Amino acid sequence: MDFNRRDFLKGALATGALAAGGAALAGCTPASSGSSSSSNTATVNGRPWEVAPDPITNIANTVEADIVVVGAGIAGLNVSSAAAFNGAKVIVLERTEKYQVRGADNGAVGTKFQKDNGLEIDKAEILKYSAQWNAMQINQNLFKIWVEKSGPIFDDLIALMAENGYKVVKGTGTRGDLADAELFYKQYPTAHSFTFDNIEEASMMLPDGRWANNLLGDVLMQQAESNGAEFVFNTLGQQLAMEGSKVIGVIAEGEDGTYTQYNASKGVVLCTGDISGNEDMLKAWAPIVLRADPVAYMPPGANDGIGHMMAMWAGAAVQHGPAAPMIHAVGGQTLSQMSVGWLMVNREGKRFSNETPNEVSTSNARMVQPGGIAWSLFDGKFRENIAKMMGGADSPKFKQTVPDDVDDIIEREISEGTIIRADSLDELAGKLGITDVDALTATVKRYNELCAGGKDVDFLKDEVWMTSSIESAPFYASTVPAIPLTCQFGLNCNDQMQVCDADDYPIEGLYAGGNTCGNFFADDYPLLTPGISHGRAITLGRVLGEALAKGEKIVV
């Protein structure tokens, strides 16, 4: 995992990108008038999605279209650009003032770029292991659309980006050293990133401070508009327009507070994002997210699940499998657990996990500890230990992990409280609030013994990481981050991306894309296929947009 990948959130926080630039998709929070129907809905047990609000009747205007897309994020942009390219009249409703994308990695399987770089992936294998990762609680035919169709779709997209002066590079999540790792830590080289022609390596952020995927967003919106798609910004989708049990459109509140009904003869597509901004939904479906750090990928108030609610008010159900939170041990801490396999301890001073660097396992293990907190421990010889773990002081990995100004960065993080330094383990325990100093001392002693023997018989951490004994003052503790990016918990969707009721019967006229489309992830977001969240939004979005425009079924 390179330095750009693990450091991107720190840079974003420093520039305010997470607070201002990482806005949510449409239909997530009320428009400026603050009159969202979701905010004054009668509730059962505090859950506004359980009782439909009174229908909005003061509709000032009606607009006709073939397809109405709610949300101009990465999924909505792909649905709309593909549908418009295939001749449909498309209207896109977006609650903010512009389209919204984030990140850099976009997952695909079988692209020409992968083949040219010797990155071969067995499609059947990736489907099998991905289903197992998700505890077999996903719609494998829906997942198979991404596996089978992402390659040619990305080839076309890469060509389109090249026409606009951009190129594709290996994504920040493509780690060759994990291609042959054991299954839980294995990562297929699925991540693709786009960048400028004069930049050789992927980075989360562009030189101008925007997310790298803004290049993709620019091109997709240009393609959609050039084919006649209309984007209506500062407009909040609030209710679905119904004709019996059929969805015929969306009622949305404009910037001026008036309501317009946007009718869709071929279908409404909800691309309104995830539920990570709705505390009630998290309590109901993903309470572990509430034990993560308060810093979020999305700005406050974003992704409040209004798209989910609109669908449920129309008779839809949420996915059958459990939520799959995307919570990663990123956040910018220097020498963080995401890069190296330091000993981790909880507030009782005890070791609790295999510390092999892994965004998912590290954050998940931390969140279930007492108080939901943990620290990585290292000592004064951290450079020597990292060099051993990274293949030597001259290796690229070492240089990526230890920046030249590491001492200055550590001092800054000590002042910020993300790193604690002490001259003894007793002092360190006191600063961390560990009441049982003897437990911490015993944990470190045991860990040092394991390092000396070169084998972790307690948690079976790989031997390459068993070179980080803790012996020489000063002693350091770095907070183990757990940053919520999204919470994958979508609507109950079939392999046509039709939104379904609790008995799995589709609701006519209603579709979902991106994080609003459920049954694609369950239990946990998989690092097995880096970039798959964006990759499925792109692939399934384009497949759905084309199918709706042509009036065709999606062939799985």
**For 261-295, how does the pLDDT look when each residue is reduced to its tens digit (9 = 90+)?**
999 999 999 999 999 999 999 999 999 999 999 86
Neighbours of 137 (CB within 10 A): 15
Q: What span, in angstroms and rounded, lies between the C-alpha atoms of 398 and 471?
A: 21
Q: Identify the burial level of 125 via C-beta atoms within 10 angstroms of its C-beta, where 0-12 means exposed, 13-18 middle and 19 or more buried.
A: exposed
The pair phi, psi for residue 438, each rounded to 5°, is: -60, -35
Q: What span, in angstroms and rounded, lies between the C-alpha atoms of 309 and 332?
A: 35
Q: What span, in angstroms and rounded, lies between the C-alpha atoms of 489 and 275?
A: 7
The pair phi, psi for residue 275, each rounded to 5°, is: -115, 15
Structure tokens belonging to residue 423: 């001259």
Q: Which residue has the tokens 């946990």?
A: 524
Q: Identify the burial level of 36 via C-beta atoms within 10 angstroms of its C-beta, where 0-12 means exposed, 13-18 middle and 19 or more buried.
A: buried
Q: What span, in angstroms and rounded, lies between the C-alpha atoms of 329 and 313?
A: 36
Structure tokens belonging to residue 527: 């690092």
- Quick check: helix, strand or coil at residue 53? coil
Q: What span, in angstroms and rounded, lies between the C-alpha atoms of 209 and 158?
A: 23
pLDDT score recorded for residue 301 = 60
pTM: 0.90
Residues of the chain predicted below pLDDT 50: 1-44
Whether the CB-CB separation of 189 and 126 falls below 8 Å is answered with: no
Q: What is the mean pLDDT of the chain?
A: 89
Q: Identify the burial level of 442 via C-beta atoms within 10 angstroms of its C-beta, where 0-12 means exposed, 13-18 middle and 19 or more buried.
A: middle
Q: What span, in angstroms and rounded, lies between the C-alpha atoms of 532 and 459?
A: 29
Q: What span, in angstroms and rounded, lies between the C-alpha atoms of 175 and 188?
A: 8
- Domains annotated for the chain, with CATH where assigned, are 26-103+210-325+487-550 (3.50.50.60), 333-480 (3.90.700.10)
Residue 200's identity, in one-letter code, is E
Which residues have CB under 8 Å from 488's CB, separation 6+? Answer: 274, 323, 324, 325, 326, 515, 520, 521, 525, 533
143's enclosing H/E stretch is: helix 140-163
